[in-house]
Amino acid sequence: MRAGRSGETRIADFHYSGGSSQNIAPAKEGLFYRTARPDSVWFHNFADGKTHMVFKTDKPLDAGISVSPDGRWLLYTQVDG
């Protein structure tokens, strides 16, 4: 929801892990989030309203995603076993 405006805008369909918000990482230019099927991380750009896949992995991702303050680094959890 944009500040100072009414209504909501759907930007993506994704699933929370256990109802947690650990799968979302806000950044200055947009929003990073992870999905479970396929195991991937996506980015929604606030400026142009477009969403694109950042990466997809063959290994399952676990709860937890974070982005550095400058937006250059992304930290996520992956299950290797």
Instruction: Judge if pTM exceeds 0.85.
Output: no
- Residue 1, both tokens: 């929801």
pLDDT tens digits for range 18-36: 445 678 899 999 999 888 7
pLDDT tens digits for range 43-63: 999 899 899 999 999 998 888
> 37-58: buried (b, 16+ CB within 10 Å) or exposed (e) per residue?
eebbbbbbeeeeeeeeeeeeee
